[in-house]
Structure 1
Amino acid sequence: MRSTFPGREERRGGGVIPAPAFPRSGGGAAEAAPAGNGGGRLEESLLSNGIRVLTEAIPGVRSVALGVWIRQGAAHEALSETGASHMLEHMVFKGTERRTPRQIALELERLGGSLDAFTSREHTSYQARVLSEHLPVALDVLADLVLDPLLRQEDLDLEREVVLEEIATVDDTPDDLVFELHGEAMWGEHPYGRSILGTRESVEGLGADTLQRIHRERYRKGELIVAAAGHLEHERIVETIAERFGALPGTEVAPVPDIDYSDGGPPVDLHVQRDTAQTHVVFGSRTPPRSDPQRYPLSLISAAFGGGMSSRLFQRVREEMGLAYSIYSFQSFYSRAGVSGVYVGTRPEGAARAVDAILEEFGTVMREGLSDDELREVKDQVKGQVMLSLENTASRLFRLAGFALYDQPRLTLDQLLERIESVTRDDIKEAAERSFNPERQAILRLGPG
């Protein structure tokens, strides 16, 4: 299982510009959308209980990536139940009404396939990847996991120790821990600032009754999202999902609380003492949510600051100043707000110089924006990344799910590329003024004094 916590969530591409969305349909009927340049056939069906089924038929491949998304993540948890969503994700693999833990692990592996899961701030997901002829088996396994886990107290008592080890691993990994601490500082009391893994105290306090209640209220009702990409037939997948999930009652999930992101959030400057070889520093500020069109200029700014070896900060802090091995930008957009920022790891004696250089670059872009040539370069870079991502069934799967999870605009791929291309220097400057003002950054340092 692959569990996602702050830091890994942001670094695994939460801010990547979404692929084209497409119209929804009602009553279980499918509606297709033109794929545009480089896409497969996109179809969506809406079951009567609110479950959305999205597929992309991709010519020339023999595999299928598929997944189920539940609108239950760290941001939906009560403060006393922090980490419950992540623990529930672990527990579904401890056995179902029809399969033992070993049978769950063996079912797809014996066919050369894979099974995975993760928990994030706003949802939990279970995914599989198999050859197309094994798609019925994969659908059955995913349905079994989501609908019928045993969730026994004796299994929880054992798995709790595994999660406590996971928490300890983060605590011993400073370039992960610094993101967790930064999230707490930047988001304050908002649920986005809570640990996805939970704390040692909250995990030790979880009981099977809590997990059973969350499963009953969130997993066994509508509002689920099922997506698949690869060699497939949309109608057959819809039929199977309707058979396994169609009887679930429909429901509306309580939204994540609103949060003010208008000025990037309050400035923060904290130093957490830790005896490490490097000082790890995260800069960040609140951004508009995923639905806001400002994500386009923000994605271009992020690429300009730390999107690769040619980026401003890589060239200045690493190549010119020799202060870091690892420096990069990150961003994630959620339903209520987002985050955009930079990470750098540097020896303690160089930390102050690295911080000053990064803030100076923020100020330059805030005042001047990007030149015509640099804007052209990052547009080509981001558009190329979008196109290259379409060559992987797993990434297409996650894009499909993103359409439904965040109700993204109904764009073809060509329209999406046009949105990126239409970003102006004024758009860049406006986004930088809001999200990269050096005087309004949340900065967290982790390392020696």
Structure 2
Amino acid sequence: MREAVLDNGIRVLTERRPDVRSVAVGVWIAQGSAHETPESGGVSHLMEHLVFKGTGRRTAHEIALSLESLGGSLDAYTTREHTSYQAHVLDEHLPVALDVLADLVLHPRLDASDLELEKDVVIEEIAGVEDTPDDMVFDLHGAKFWNGHAYGQPILGTRETVRAFEIDDFRSLHSDRYQGRNIVLGCVGNIEHDDVVSQLMELFGGVGAGCTSPEIEEPADTISGRNSVVRDAAQAHLVISHATPSFADPVRNALILISGAFGGGMSSRLFQRIREELALAYSVYAFQSFYSKAGMAGVYVGTRPEASEKALEGILFEYGKLCEHGVTGEELEQAKGHAKGRSILAMESTGARLLRLVGFTLRGEPYRDLDESLARIEAVTLDEVNSACQRFYNPADQYTLTLGPA
């Protein structure tokens, strides 16, 4: 890994992989849904859409065609804390990919007529989430669980906030946040670091340094207990969770291993108990989400409505066992093997390597090579894991939201 910082504060990270013929490259902006107010909810995501509508040099069709015509791809996404634009191309087409990314990120035309059209597209996207209950339940759960904090706001916004936006909202957002100190650039593949930096200096060097995005506030509190949202559906969807520290806390590795043993695959406790033994669900899994100021660890299950209480009872029973007795040494070793194996296998993808490379900088952590990361997983002790089980998996402290029929 090599790193450079341009004069305007843009951080550039590269990893050379001469054994491949492709390049994954991306731009990350420190602007996500957690930077928004309730009134501006969804502005970061809609901005992500708008930049693809055209620039001073390219129409929307020309942007789409620029890399697709070369066999490459161009994509974007918005998270709680960042917006990202990424391309995947053959190594010989890297200059084109960098030029396209710079053009759409730095020079979007941000036209009022485009905004009105794209509002309808995002509202269709919101409708798609509403028609996908195993997605919608997470938005509903987060809105309650985070108790008014911006982490609970839907990334897409709402119909009301999207309809209310005006084009000046996006021009202001672009001029404030799409600036050097808020930009991280990453590139992985068959590249030369100095060549990449030289191209980026030409394309991004004229961007002002600007001011860093405001720091996200720490959540004051989360809730426990239970809520239900009534909706006609063939299944009931349940999300159960507990707050955790942020991604900077060392307990993160223990929580990842617990999640793997508890509900990370077909051999996990929840899969074996809830699906294989009790036949209460097709989909049941544990998850964890870590942000800069907080996180959560939890479980999702989708089940027939008449079985939802039994499924919840069974899951909370497993929570109780985990809290009281922890995991076994054998389960911990299996979870470590699973986590390390997935980490190693992911390294065969330039896209996964790019996410890993940039992730350290986005989290404010020093870069660690794969062996160092694997050693950190291996170093987690059974005492650390079982202490985290007691701290975060007490069934009485969880928050559960159910979406489904009454």
CA distance in 1, matches of 2:364, 2:344: 21
Q: Secondary structure at the match of 1:222?
A: helix
1:269 to 2:229 alignment: no
Q: Which residue of 1 aligns with 2:239?
A: 282
1:144 aligns with 2:81: no
Separation in 2 of the partners of 1:74 and 1:120? Answer: 7
Distance 2:279 2:125 in 1: 33
1:166-194: per-residue Cα shift (whole Å, max 9, x none)?
11111111111001001111111110000
Relative to structure 1, the CA distance from residue 332 to residue 152 in structure 2 (aligned partners, 3 Å threshold; closer, same or farther) is same
CA contact 1:185–1:268 (8 Å) conserved in 2: no
Distance 1:109 1:411 in 2: 34
* Secondary structure in 2 matching 1:56: strand
- Mapped to 2, the partners of 1:48 and 1:366 lie a distance apart of 51
Pairing partner for 1:301 from 243, 258, 265: 258
Q: 1:254 aligns with which of 195, 214, 227?
A: 214
| Alignment correspondent of 1:175 | 134
Query: Residue 59 of structure 1 aligns to a residue in which SS?
Result: coil
Equivalent residues in 2 for 1:362-381, closer than 5 Å: 362-381=319-338
Q: Retained in 2: the 8 A contact 1:330–1:340? A: yes
Structure 2 partner of 1:60: 19
- 1:196-251 per-residue CA deviation (whole Å, 9 max, x = no partner) reads 00001000001110011001101134320000111111111111111122232222
Partner of 1:119: 78
CA contact (8 A) 2:6 2:205 kept: yes
TM-score, normalized by length of structure 1?
0.89
Pick the aligned partner of 1:424 from 361, 376, 381: 381
In structure 2, distance between residues paired with 1:48 and 1:434:
45
User: Which residue of structure 1 lines up, in the alignment, with residue 9 of structure 2?
Assistant: 50
CA distance in 2, matches of 1:356, 1:181: 21
Distance in 2, matches of 1:115 and 1:249, equals 25
Contact conserved, 1:119 with 1:196, CA < 8 A, in 2? yes
Query: Paired residue for 1:351?
Result: 308
**Aligned equivalent of 1:387, options 336, 339, 344:** 344
| Structure 1 residue 399: Cα displacement | 1.0
CA contact 1:222–1:248 (8 Å) conserved in 2: no
Instruction: State the one-letter code of the partner of 2:365.
Output: Q
- 1:333 maps to what in 2? 290
**Structure 2: 5+ residue runs without aligned partners?**
none
**Contact 2:144/2:223, CA 8 A, preserved across alignment:** no
Q: CA deviation at 1:414?
A: 1.6
For the residues of structure 2 that align with 1:400 and 1:418, how far apart are their CA atoms?
Answer: 17
**Counterpart residue type for residue 109 of structure 2:** L
In 2: Cα distance, 1:409 partner to 1:328 partner: 31
Quote the RMSD (CA, aligned, Å). Answer: 1.1
**Residues 68, 126 of structure 1: 8 Å contact kept:** yes
CA distance in 2 between counterparts of 1:202 and 1:446 reads: 23
Confirm whether residue 74 of structure 1 aligns to residue 33 of structure 2: yes
Rounded to whole Å, the distance in 2 between the matches of 1:268 and 1:121 is 24
Of 263, 270, 274, 1:317 maps to 274
Aligned residue for 1:186? 145
Deviation at residue 125 of structure 1 after TM alignment: 0.3
* Alpha-carbon distance between aligned partners in 2 of 1:163 and 1:100, rounded to the nearest angstrom: 20
Q: Which gives a bigger RCO, structure 1 or 2 (Cα 8 Å, sep 6+)?
A: 1
Tell me how far apart the structure 2 counterparts of residues 121 and 162 of structure 1 sit (CA, whole Å): 20
Shift of 1:49: 1.9
Match of 2:190 among 217, 227, 231: 231
Higher helix share: 2
> Distance between the aligned counterparts of 2:331 and 2:299, measured in 1?
19
Paired letter, 1:106: L
The residue type equivalent to 2:216 in the other structure is V
One-letter amino acid matched to 1:130: V
Instruction: Find the counterpart in structure 2 of residue 101 from structure 1.
Output: 60
Give the counterpart of 1:440 among 384, 397, 400: 397
Asked whether the equivalents of residues 369 and 426 of structure 1 are also in contact (C-alpha less than 8 Å), the reply is no
Gaps of 5+ in 1: 1-41
Structure 2 distance, partners of 1:76, 1:192, is: 9
Contact persistence 1:284–1:441 (CA under 8 A)? yes
Partner Cα distance (1:239, 1:434) in 2 = 49
Offset at residue 409 of structure 1 (A): 3.8
**In structure 2, what is the Cα distance between the partners aligned to 1:255 and 1:236?**
33
Q: Quick check: 243-252 or 127-136, which moved more? A: 243-252
SS in 2 for 1:189: coil
How far apart are 1:266 and its partner, in Å?
Answer: 2.5
Tell me what 2:318 maps to: 361
Structure 1 Cα separation of the partners of residues 65 and 368 of structure 2: 39
Segment drifting more, 225-234 vs 401-410: 401-410
**Does 2:179 match 1:220?**
yes
CA distance in 1, matches of 2:179, 2:363: 21
Counterpart of 2:299 in 1: which secondary structure? Answer: strand
- Determine the C-alpha separation between the residues in 2 that align with 1:410 and 1:139: 24
Corresponding residue number in structure 2 for 1:35:
none
- CA distance in 2 between counterparts of 1:130 and 1:152 reads 29
Please say if residues 57 and 231 of structure 1, whose CA atoms lie closer than 8 Å, have aligned partners that are also in contact.
yes
